[in-house]
Structures are given as structure tokens and as C-alpha cells.
Chain A
Amino acid sequence: MAVTADHAIPNRSPLIAFLSRWLLTTNHKEIGTLYLWLSFTLFFIAGAMAMVIRLELFQPGIQFAEPLFYNQMVTMHGLIMVFGVVMPGFVGLANWLLPMMIGAPDMALPRLNNFSFWILPFAFTLLISSLFMEGGAPNFGWTFYAPLSTTYGPPSTDFFILGVHLMGISSVLGAINIIVTIFNLRVEGMTLMKMPLFVWTWLITAFLLVMVMPVLAGAVTMMLTDRHFGTSFFSAVGGGDPVLFQHVFWFFGHPEVYILILPGFGIASQIIPTFARKKLFGYHSMVYATVSIAILSFLVWGHHMFTTGMPLAAELFVMYATMLIAVPTGVKVFNWVATMWRGSMTFETPMLFAIGFVILFTIGGFSGLMLALVPADFQYHDTFFVVAHFHYVLYPGAIFGIMSAVYYWLPKWTGNMYDERLGKLHFWTAIVAVNMTFFPMHFLGLAGMPRRIVDYSLQFADFNMVASIGAGMLGLTQVLFLYIVIKTIRGGDKATSRVWESAEGLEWTIPSPAPLHTFSAPPQFPIPEEAYQHD
């Protein structure tokens, strides 16, 4: 508690006070803010790399980026977006919201929380510094397949390996903290099946993190020893096997993609009922669907490897298991739609982003089903169709999820309403730009344009130009988003404690902006209606 009283201690230079406040904070709200700003900063860095990629692909031929540099951009864009933007973004939201949603004064392990965050800036400094090294940054794609990353990797690969280790430690510690918090600090009366869905999806995500981040750590450790200590885990020379790398990587990688989307499901399940003014349809089935998706995610990693020469039986099993995932996911989509059905809907910015999320994520899900089909995948594999697919699930999925969460809870965090007019402008430009950027990639992939190659043949020129113009627009809308966030922090219409007319949940019973310490005394649960009325 001494730490948070720092600003009351006189005779300290403002710089020291500022640094010690943010470096030493153990407050879940401040740490949440740190996570969100880190995520936002890296979003612009990785976004700038995407701009380099799209600029280069604007026309056929090699104009701006040498092939090696282009490959570095592709690799770093993917790594930073996955590990630096979406994951810390969701962890930041978890930090801000979980304790407030379950009526806890803070996370269960506040000091560990501080440690988990402050590892990350170092991890990303290691990773990004490799851009300025001799031989360049990692250039083997975010999936870092052996032997590209072992025998042929640039010297900076070792910085990448250490960076991944640090990110892994941070994620595992953060996930343990989240699970312990949810299991132990819920307010009296909030049983597991009464938890808000954002809490549920994060609980499951945290379990996935604890189970797969160590596998990633194992994979990069094997890479490291293959590179420097004469082992041959992934090298056929010494009796190893490069395909083994793909198995280990995707055993991590497939649950990882659900780590990137499940909290987004939770966010949509919080926001849609508020603006439809109805209770969430099918709460229980939502929980079971999320659990089944998480369990199935451990069985389907093979669908990333259909073309490696897997036996037919394994291909069939993985194909059917993958298509099975569409069932719980479909349950969720239908539940969201049923929640909106005959609701008194209004379309404030968070709701727009949530609806955009549902529609566009579903498109991404369908292209995923196409990729799950073994015979079709042989054609789609490693083409822009795959790029289109995962950008549809990650951009309008994970990123729209985070954005709708930010609009939804920003008034609670800052005490000010964001500018609704600008928010709507942000949404409509973003949704046009997102589709303009990523939709043509489906056609490019079906026509055979390979991914991760700097140049392309002439027949792909028109769609690439459209995609590049869309990408430029999409980049600009994020500057607008930054402006809206800063403007809201600095002022605006005062928000009430409930903020939205029919928002439900413990976080709406505390004043806006949320005071640094909340729920020092446990609140009442189930929430009495008058709890929302105290201002």
C-alpha cells in the first residue's frame, strides 16, 4: 500500500515520482494501463511494418524493400502483432477488468503482476533491436520453421529466442495470476456459473497459456541448442527431423490462435447484451462452447501441416476434428445473433465494433473451414488465401474485440465519454478499410499468389493495388483511434457510474473514473438494482 501513497511524499522530484509510480506499481488498474499502452505502441510499430509490406506489394516488381528486408518485415510484423499487440492488449483488459468484475480489491499476486509486465519491454527491445544488427532481423516468418531458423537463421535469431523466452515467462506468470485471482477472489455468492463471460473466457485462455507457452519455450530452446550446442533435434544430419519442429510449434501454435480470440468472444458477450437490452442468450452454452473449443484446439495442430506428407488417417482425423470446432463456434455466433433478435438495439461505437466482430469473424471462420478440407488445402496452402483467412479472424476478430472493449470501458477508466461522432467515423472507415485490404487477398490466394514473397506476377497487380490502398486507409484510421483515446483521457462529457443504460456487472456499480482502489469491502452479489444508482 505504501507504493500507491508515493505521490503524497514531499520533496521528490516529479521524474522520480513518476518513474517509481509506474515502475513499482502493484495496482491492477495501473498495470492494466501499462499493458494497454505497450500494446498500442507496438500496434503502431508492427502496423508501420505492414505499411512497408503493402507499399512493396502495391505494384509488381521490387521497389522499396529488398527481398531479405521484406522477409524481415513479414516476420517481425507477425511476431509483434501476435505477442506484442493482441496478447498484451487482452492481458491489459484482464488486469483492468477482472478484479472489478468479480468484486476483488486487486489481482491475487500484485507484485508478480508488476514483474510480468516489466519483462515485456525488455523482451520487445531484444526482438526489435535485431532489426539494426548485422545480418538483419529474423527473416523466416513468424512460424520460424527449422531449418530456416536453425541452419539458415541470421545471427540475430538468438536475440529472437531470448525475446520469446521472456514473453513466455511473462505470459505464464500473468496467466497463473489470473487463474489464482478468479478461483480465490470472487465475491461471496458469485459461483463459477455466475461469472461474467469475459471472466470465463479469460479463465480458459489462461489455462491454454499455462499449457502451451512452455511448449513454445521448449521449441525455441531446442532451436538454440541445435544452433550452438551440437544437438540435432531438427536436423536430419544427426538423426533429428525438421518436421518434428512443425509438430512442436503447432502444438503450441494452434491453441495460441484461440488464446488470441477467446477473450474477444468474452468481450462481444459483454457488449452485445448491453446494447440489445436483453440478457445474453444461452449463457451456459456459451461457457460449454468455449471449453470445447479450448479442448479441441489441442487435437488439431496437424491441419497446419497437411502438405508435409502426413498419412491419410491422420489427415482425415485432423480434418474432421477441425471441422468439429465449427460447431461450438457456431453455437456462439447463433447465441450472439439470438441475443440481438428482437432486442431494443442502439448502435453506439462499442456495439458497432462488436457487430463487425461477429460478422467478419464468421467470414474468417468460413475460410478456415475451407482450409480445413484436406484436398482443398493442398491448393490453398501457403497462398494469400491463408493470409486473408487469418487476418479476417485476427483483425476484425481480436483487434476489433479490443477496440470495442476500449470504447465500452474507456468512460469507466477515464470518467469521460469518448466523442461518439469520431468513434462512429473510426468504425465506418475501419470496416471499409479492413474489407478492402483483406477481401481481395482471398482471390489472390485462390488464383495462386504465394505468401511471403516480395514480388508477384502481373495478373495479381489489380487486387494487390486495391489491398494496398485499403491498408493505407486502415493505417490512418488507427491514428484517428489514438486521437480519440487521448481526447477522451483529457476531457469530455462526464460519464455516469453505469455509463450505459442497461450495462450489467459489478464494474458499473463503482464511480467513473474508477478510483485507484475499489472493493476494499466486498460488494453485494447478486447486484441489487440500487447499487447502480449512487450518482
Chain B
Amino acid sequence: MTERRNNQRKHIILLSALAVGMVGFSFALVPLYAIFCEVTGLNGKKYEREISAEPSVLQVSEREVTIQFLAQVGRGMPWEFRPTESKLKVRLGEVHLTSYYARNRADQAVTGQAVPSVSPAYASNFLHKLECFCFTQQQLEAGEDQQMALRFYIDAELPEDISMLTLSYSLFQVPDVEVASLALASN
């Protein structure tokens, strides 16, 4: 009987540990997911770390692809935001400069952060940005406008089946100092 009791206690402890561990696992999914997306380039996310090769050493290939630019404005963001060119035909390996136009329509200064997304998702590892307004937060005074530069090239290794890429930016308002630092910390 005491043996059974001990067994029972052991089972309860193990099962409770499993339940608590699974709560932990659900939170562990957050960094796991981020790492997984970063390694595989999935979900159209471009993590900005590997702004690698010097443009001068790039091989320019004959192959041409089309890149489209999109802009979205997050809820409550009082900016006008659009690409200056809606699409470009580019050669692989060639560095291009384009820009997005932004104007603050509010009557006070507003800070914004653009979040990029590439489609098809697996193309994101081949789109390299040398300079991008999305690397930092942008602040515009009331009524101010700005051309925001984007310098990029597309890797010559781009898979054969891709003939068109879409680069989309969603622009969000950075609410206030505390929350902004929190969000950056979680990055």
C-alpha cells in the first residue's frame, strides 16, 4: 500500500512538472519561431544582420527580375506613406537606389517604424538591403515630409523560379518612450 502511495506521489509530481513544462514550452515557441524564421528566411522576414558583401565585388548577372514596392500604414498612424516607384526591373547583383515618401499629417511630431516583409517568403534571403529607413526609427515634425532612401541588390543566387518579388513595408507609430524601449528589448 505504501508502495502504491509512493508511486502515486511520483506520478502526480511528474505529470504536474509536465504541465508546467508545457507552459514554458508555449513561451519558448516565441524565440524558437523567431530563430526558425531567421535561419530559414521564412515568413518573408528579413533580419537585417547580414548586410554582407561589398557592392563593388558583386557579380552582375544578365538575369532580370521585377521588384514591386508596397506600403501600408498601421492603425492610428497619421502619416502619408508610399513608394516613389511602384516597381523596378533590376538585374541580379546590381545595386539600386529607390525611396519611399513620407509626410506627417498630424500637428505634432510622430515617430514611426517600418516593418518589412518579402513575398515570396523564400526570396527574402536573396534581397539584401545596404541602406534602409527601416533600420532605424524615423521622426517627422508636424507637417514635415521626407524622401526615405532604400539601397538594395538582389543576390545572383536567386532561385530560377522567381521572376517577381514584392517588398512591402508596414509603417507603425512608435507610441511612447517606455513602450518603444520594451519592444526593442524584446527584439
Question: Contact residues of A with B, CB < 8 Å?
Answer: 108-109, 151, 172, 175-176, 179-180, 183-184, 210-219, 222, 230-233, 236-241, 243-244, 247-248, 251-252, 309-311, 314
For residue A28, give the distance in angstroms from its CB to the closest CB of chain B: 16
A232-B186 in contact given A109-B12, A215-B25 (Cβ < 8 Å)? yes
Does B39 belong to the interface (CB within 8 Å)?
A: no
Given A108-B8, A184-B11, A241-B33, 14 more A-B residue pairs with CB atoms under 8 Å apart are A175-B15, A176-B15, A176-B19, A184-B8, A211-B19, A211-B22, A215-B23, A215-B29, A218-B22, A218-B27, A241-B37, A248-B26, A309-B120, A314-B42
Does B2 belong to the interface (CB within 8 Å)?
A: no
A210 neighbours in B (Cβ, 8 Å): 15, 18-19, 22
Q: How far is the CA of A212 from the CA of B119 in the complex (A)?
A: 32
**Pairwise interchain contact B18-A243, C-beta atoms closer than 8 A:** no
Which of A232, A233, A237 counts the most B-chain CB atoms under 10 A from its CB? A237
- B window 131-159: CB within 8 A of A: none
Q: Among A109, A151, A239, which residue has its beta carbon within 8 angstroms of that of B75?
A: A151
**Pairwise interchain contact B43-A241, C-beta atoms closer than 8 A:** yes
**Pairwise interchain contact A179-B22, C-beta atoms closer than 8 A:** no
**Pairwise interchain contact B43-A176, C-beta atoms closer than 8 A:** no
Does B167 belong to the interface (CB within 8 Å)?
A: no
25 intermolecular pairs with C-beta atoms under 8 Å apart: A109-B12, A176-B12, A180-B8, A180-B15, A183-B11, A211-B19, A213-B19, A214-B19, A215-B23, A222-B30, A230-B178, A236-B170, A237-B74, A237-B113, A238-B182, A239-B187, A241-B37, A241-B45, A243-B43, A244-B29, A244-B33, A247-B29, A248-B26, A309-B44, A314-B42
**Pairwise interchain contact B172-A237, C-beta atoms closer than 8 A:** yes
For residue A521, give the distance in angstroms from its CB to the closest CB of chain B: 14
- 1/0 per residue B1-41: CB within 8 Å of A? 00010011001100110111111011101100100010010
A231-B23 in contact given A180-B8, A183-B7, A311-B40 (Cβ < 8 Å)? no
Q: How far is the CA of A101 from the CA of B23 in the complex (A)?
A: 32
**Pairwise interchain contact B20-A214, C-beta atoms closer than 8 A:** yes
Q: How far is the CA of A492 from the CA of B173 in the complex (A)?
A: 70
**Pairwise interchain contact B119-A309, C-beta atoms closer than 8 A:** yes
Q: Among B4, B15, B20, B21, which residue has its beta carbon within 8 angstroms of that of A179?
A: B15
For residue A298, give the distance in angstroms from its CB to the closest CB of chain B: 11
Q: How far is the CA of A259 from the CA of B38 in the complex (A)?
A: 33
Does B121 belong to the interface (CB within 8 Å)?
A: yes
A213 neighbours in B (Cβ, 8 Å): 19, 22
Q: How far is the CA of A446 from the CA of B178 in the complex (A)?
A: 50
Does B122 belong to the interface (CB within 8 Å)?
A: yes
A214 neighbours in B (Cβ, 8 Å): 19-23, 25-26
Does B57 belong to the interface (CB within 8 Å)?
A: no
Does B179 belong to the interface (CB within 8 Å)?
A: yes
**Pairwise interchain contact A238-B40, C-beta atoms closer than 8 A:** no
The number of chain B residues with a CB under 8 A from chain A is: 44
Q: How far is the CA of A237 from the CA of B173 in the complex (A)?
A: 8
For residue A174, give the distance in angstroms from its CB to the closest CB of chain B: 12
Which of B16, B18, B74, B113 counts the most A-chain CB atoms under 10 A from its CB? B18
A217 neighbours in B (Cβ, 8 Å): 23, 26
A218-B182 in contact given A210-B15, A244-B29 (Cβ < 8 Å)? no
Chain A, Cβ-Cβ closest to B7: A184
B45 neighbours in A (Cβ, 8 Å): 241
Chain A, Cβ-Cβ closest to B183: A238
Q: How far is the CA of A392 from the CA of B173 in the complex (A)?
A: 45
A239-B16 in contact given A215-B26, A218-B27, A247-B29 (Cβ < 8 Å)? no
Does B115 belong to the interface (CB within 8 Å)?
A: yes
Which of B12, B21, B74 counts the most A-chain CB atoms under 10 A from its CB? B12
A222 neighbours in B (Cβ, 8 Å): 26-27, 30
B44 neighbours in A (Cβ, 8 Å): 309
Q: Among B8, B27, B172, which residue has its beta carbon within 8 angstroms of that of A236?
A: B172
Q: How far is the CA of A214 from the CA of B24 in the complex (A)?
A: 8
B16 neighbours in A (Cβ, 8 Å): 176
Q: Among A180, A218, A247, which residue has its beta carbon within 8 angstroms of that of B23?
A: A218
**Pairwise interchain contact B22-A309, C-beta atoms closer than 8 A:** no
Q: How far is the CA of A311 from the CA of B36 in the complex (A)?
A: 12
For residue A210, give the distance in angstroms from its CB to the closest CB of chain B: 5
**Pairwise interchain contact A232-B22, C-beta atoms closer than 8 A:** no
**Pairwise interchain contact A180-B11, C-beta atoms closer than 8 A:** yes
Q: Among A218, A230, A233, A309, which residue has its beta carbon within 8 angstroms of that of B43?
A: A309
B12 neighbours in A (Cβ, 8 Å): 109, 176, 180
Q: How far is the CA of A241 from the CA of B170 in the complex (A)?
A: 13
For residue A113, give the distance in angstroms from its CB to the closest CB of chain B: 13
Q: Among A184, A237, A247, which residue has its beta carbon within 8 angstroms of that of B183?
A: A237
Q: How far is the CA of A215 from the CA of B23 in the complex (A)?
A: 5
Q: How far is the CA of A331 from the CA of B174 in the complex (A)?
A: 56
Q: How far is the CA of A218 from the CA of B21 in the complex (A)?
A: 11
Q: How far is the CA of A215 from the CA of B186 in the complex (A)?
A: 21
A240 neighbours in B (Cβ, 8 Å): 186
A184-B23 in contact given A237-B74, A237-B172, A237-B183 (Cβ < 8 Å)? no
For residue A164, give the distance in angstroms from its CB to the closest CB of chain B: 13
- 1/0 per residue B103-138: CB within 8 Å of A? 000000000010100011110000000000000000
Chain A, Cβ-Cβ closest to B179: A230
Chain A, Cβ-Cβ closest to B25: A215
A179 neighbours in B (Cβ, 8 Å): 11, 15
B19 neighbours in A (Cβ, 8 Å): 172, 176, 210-211, 213-214
B186 neighbours in A (Cβ, 8 Å): 231-232, 238-240
For residue B154, give the distance in angstroms from its CB to the closest CB of chain A: 19
**Pairwise interchain contact A218-B26, C-beta atoms closer than 8 A:** yes
Q: How far is the CA of A179 from the CA of B19 in the complex (A)?
A: 13
- B window 165-184: CB within 8 A of A: 170, 172-174, 178-179, 182-184
For residue B172, give the distance in angstroms from its CB to the closest CB of chain A: 4
